[in-house]
């Protein structure tokens, strides 16, 4: 068979992948198969992956819809995640709401819990900052430090005991009804992303994929991040 890459060399048999015969080009030295189960990935399908992720479609479902292997879909999601950059907002004296969203990775046990802590601008609903991990002072402090850089008028949180010391000296509001906008955002995230839904068999197997899918969702809906061009 002729080489699919250089189009000039002829190929010889060289080992097998499972039960499939592999060939090596005598000219360019690249390996290939006589036939492939999945087609070659096209860059224009990146937009479709972002759209399907924003609609809550899982990895295997994307594989069936787009005709690529699940491994290819995962690699492209991680690649798209690597192109995202955190925005810098030009705002001052705004009211911000901050909350944590609990999920798990691999197994639903307390040791595998992962919290998505993020903050939004109350008026514009833009996500100002986001972090993944535990509800420690270190993780939550990163988000609050970002909020303090915008000279906030008020920071609204729940009554978690680590917040008062972190928010000082800014005005701090912990009333139950004060953070209803970010609670609505939590519900939207759980509704749209399968891996965040409660009481289902859908979950994340790795923190990298959890972060990538959540950030791509936020970017698609113009909440948080911008793509490098």
pTM of the model: 0.80
Give the residue carrying structure tokens 């992948």. 17
Q: Calculate helix-pair angle for 59-66, 46-54, nearest 10 degrees.
A: 140
Quickly state the pLDDT bin for 226 (edges 50, 70, 90): very low
Side by side, the strands of the sheet bearing 113-121 are: 127-133, 113-121, 95-104, 154-156, 172-173
Q: pLDDT tens, 51-91?
A: 999 888 989 999 999 988 899 999 999 999 999 888 888 88
Residues 104, 201: Cα–Cα separation, whole Å? 12
Element at 51 (helix H, strand E): helix 46-54
Question: Quick one: tokens of 190?
Answer: 């759980």
The residue extents of the domains of the chain are 1-36, 95-207
Note whether 20 and 33 are within 8 A (CB): yes
Q: Calculate helix-pair angle for 46-54, 207-220, nearest 10 degrees.
A: 90
Residues 216, 222: Cα–Cα separation, whole Å? 10
Taking residue 200's Cβ as centre, other Cβ atoms within 10 Å add up to: 9
Q: Reply yes or no on domain 95-207 having CATH 3.30.420.10.
A: yes
Quickly state the pLDDT bin for 222 (edges 50, 70, 90): low
Residue 227: its pLDDT value, please?
39
Residues 202, 171: Cα–Cα separation, whole Å? 39
Note whether 11 and 2 are within 8 A (CB): yes
Q: pLDDT tens, 1-57?
A: 788 888 877 888 888 877 788 888 888 888 888 776 767 788 889 999 999 998 889
Question: Which of 50, 4, 49 shows the shortest CA–CA distance to 30?
Answer: 4
Q: Calculate helix-pair angle for 59-66, 70-82, nearest 10 degrees.
A: 110
Residues 124, 69: Cα–Cα separation, whole Å? 38
Quickly state the pLDDT bin for 225 (edges 50, 70, 90): very low
Q: pLDDT tens, 92-133?
A: 999 999 999 999 999 999 999 999 999 999 988 889 999 999
Distances (CA, A) of 149 to 92, 136, 142, 198: 9, 20, 11, 34
């Amino acid at each position: 068979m002729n080489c699919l890459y250089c189009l000039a060399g002829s190929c010889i048999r060289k080992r097998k992948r499972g039960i499939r015969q592999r060939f090596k080009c005598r000219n360019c030295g690249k390996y290939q198969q006589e036939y492939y189960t999945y087609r070659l990935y096209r860059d224009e399908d990146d937009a479709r992956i972002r759209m399907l992720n924003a609609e809550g479609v899982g990895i295997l479902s994307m594989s069936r819809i787009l005709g690529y292997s699940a491994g290819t879909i995962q690699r492209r999601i991680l690649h798209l995640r690597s192109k995202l950059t955190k925005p810098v907002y030009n705002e001052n004296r705004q009211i911000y709401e901050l909350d944590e969203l609990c999920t798990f990775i691999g197994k639903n046990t307390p040791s595998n819990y992962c919290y998505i802590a993020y903050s939004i601008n109350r008026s514009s609903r833009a996500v100002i900052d986001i972090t993944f991990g535990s509800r420690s002072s270190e993780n939550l402090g990163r988000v609050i430090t970002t909020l303090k850089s915008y000279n906030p008028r008020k920071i609204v949180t729940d009554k978690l005991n680590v917040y008062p010391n972190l928010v000082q000296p800014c005005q701090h509001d912990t009333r139950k009804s004060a953070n209803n906008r970010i609670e609505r955002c939590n519900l939207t995230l759980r509704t749209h992303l399968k891996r965040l839904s409660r009481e289902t068999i859908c979950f994340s197997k790795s923190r990298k994929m959890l972060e990538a899918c959540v950030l791509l969702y936020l970017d698609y809906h113009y909440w948080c991040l911008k793509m490098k061009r």
